[in-house]
Amino acid sequence: MDSREAMKFGPWFGFLARPLSYDAVRKLVLESEQLGYDSVWICDHMMNGEEPMLECLTTLSALASITKKIRLGTLVICNSYRNPALLAKMLATLDVVSDGRLELGIGAGHLKEEYESYGFAFPEAGVRVRQLREGIEIIKRLWTETKASYKGKYYTIKDAYCEPKPIQKPHPPITIGGGGEKLTLRVVAKHADRSNLGGDVKQIKHKLEVLKNHCTAAGRDYNKIEKSCWFRVVISKTEKGVEENLKKFFKHDTHPYTRSRLRGTTISYEEWKERTMLNSVVGTPSECAEKIRERADLGITYFMPNFTDFPSDEGMKLFAGEVISRL
């Protein structure tokens, strides 16, 4: 990666960080805007046990009213949780009230526990991905056509108007999250403006090769799809500080892998650390910059860091001041 101008950064306020109140999110988002981040991203989950979990679109609507230029993203909206026509309407309105700052990230959904707790049907993965495809097709039609109709296997609309349309033309950018190789990445190849992946560098490289093959099969230019990735960040100015922050994160990590500790399975700190070092961006500013470069070398241009010290702003400030500046 030769130019910082081609790289974008947007903190992700996801469920892998500590639970956040709206007051904490509001302060961090305003800080993100002042620090020069390109965007902020809110996850779409209904619950995290007994911990607070803000609803995605309501939160972004509130943030739209207090910010001026930072872009506002969903990482990612679960297609299953809202009728796609209603979702298109809600998102169009959000783009209008934010003066064209919406970033739609959308995915097929995966947390069975959450679906069942909230009374949503949880079909098999293949069905959820096919529903995602139909949902995106409906959203695009409602955003771009004067009067939209669609009849699919799972969703139908007839002579539906969506006014006002989104400000962004032809429509707000659509990011599809997920790395399912047989189905999800095929939907990405056909419908996404941006592909969002997680995992370690080796995994991301492999997924991008699969995506490239799907693009070839679909007749889509692989280079027309922007590539993004999310990752957890554990950062400090010193090696000692990094280790201290890792140990703090270990105590409250809510990733499903770590949750197994709560089900009676013992996961040692060293085992957890090995996995975290592989999948996350961990280290001093220079070490973190090198890990960003490794991802950039794969063609990633948009980065969604999940700072594990939230609600503190220390990691976010250090990353903005001493990591991004090195790239």
End-to-end CA, the chain: 8
Domain boundaries defined on the chain: 4-238+281-326
Tens digits of residue pLDDT in 254-285: 665 555 444 556 678 898 899 899 999 999 99
Pick out the chain residues at pLDDT < 50: 1-3, 260-262
SS3 assignment, position 234: strand
Q: From residue 318, how far is each of 12, 28, 29, 162, 302 by CA, in Å?
A: 16, 14, 15, 42, 19
Q: Tell me what pLDDT residue 15 has.
A: 64
Answering whether pTM is above 0.85, one says yes
pLDDT above 70 coverage of the chain, percent? 93
Residue 87: which of 7, 170, 172 has the closest Cα? 172
Q: Tell me what pLDDT residue 293 has.
A: 97
DSSP character at residue 69: S
**CA distance linking residue 190 with residue 214, whole number of Å:** 8
**CA distance linking residue 309 with residue 323, whole number of Å:** 16
CATH of range 4-238+281-326; options 3.40.190.10, 3.90.1640.10, 3.40.50.9100, 3.20.20.30: 3.20.20.30
Half-sphere exposure of 319 (CA within 13 A, CB side): 30
SS3 assignment, position 158: strand
Q: Tell me what pLDDT residue 2 has.
A: 42
Buried b (16+ CB within 10 A) or exposed e, 237-274: eeeeebeebbeebbeebbeeebeeeeeeeeeeeeebbe
Q: Tell me what pLDDT residue 256 has.
A: 54
Tens digits of residue pLDDT in 73-107: 999 999 999 999 999 999 999 999 999 999 999 99
**CA distance linking residue 93 with residue 213, whole number of Å:** 36
Q: Tell me what pLDDT residue 18 has.
A: 65
Q: Tell me what pLDDT residue 243 has.
A: 96
Ordered alpha helix ranges (H), the chain:
22-35, 56-64, 84-97, 112-118, 125-144, 184-191, 201-218, 239-252, 256-259, 269-279, 285-296, 314-322
Q: Tell me what pLDDT residue 137 has.
A: 98
